[in-house]
Amino acid sequence: MYITDFSGPYRRLSARKLISREDNQYQYRFCDIVDPSSGKHLFMVEHEVRSATHPMFMRPMVNRNPALTNRNYAFGHDQSLWAIGLDQYEG
Q: What is the pTM of this model?
A: 0.62
Instruction: Verify that 71 and 33 share a domain, yes or no.
Output: no
Instruction: Verify that 8 and 45 share a domain, yes or no.
Output: yes
CA distance 79 to 41: 42
Grade residue 34 by pLDDT with cuts at 50, 70 and 90.
very high
Instruction: Verify that 26 and 6 share a domain, yes or no.
Output: yes
Average pLDDT for the chain: 79
Could you tell me if 9 and 1 are in contact, meaning their C-beta atoms sit under 8 angstroms apart?
Answer: no
- Provide mean pLDDT across the span 9-34: 92
| Boundaries of domain holding 30 | 1-58
Instruction: Verify that 54 and 67 share a domain, yes or no.
Output: no
Instruction: Verify that 45 and 86 share a domain, yes or no.
Output: no
Grade residue 33 by pLDDT with cuts at 50, 70 and 90.
very high
Instruction: Verify that 50 and 86 share a domain, yes or no.
Output: no
Could you tell me if 83 and 67 are in contact, meaning their C-beta atoms sit under 8 angstroms apart?
Answer: no
Instruction: Verify that 1 and 24 share a domain, yes or no.
Output: yes
The burial class, CB within 10 Å (0-12 / 13-18 / 19+), for 63 is exposed
- Higher-pLDDT residue of 71, 40: 40
What was the pLDDT predicted at 69? 72
Instruction: Verify that 70 and 53 share a domain, yes or no.
Output: no
- Provide mean pLDDT across the span 39-52: 90
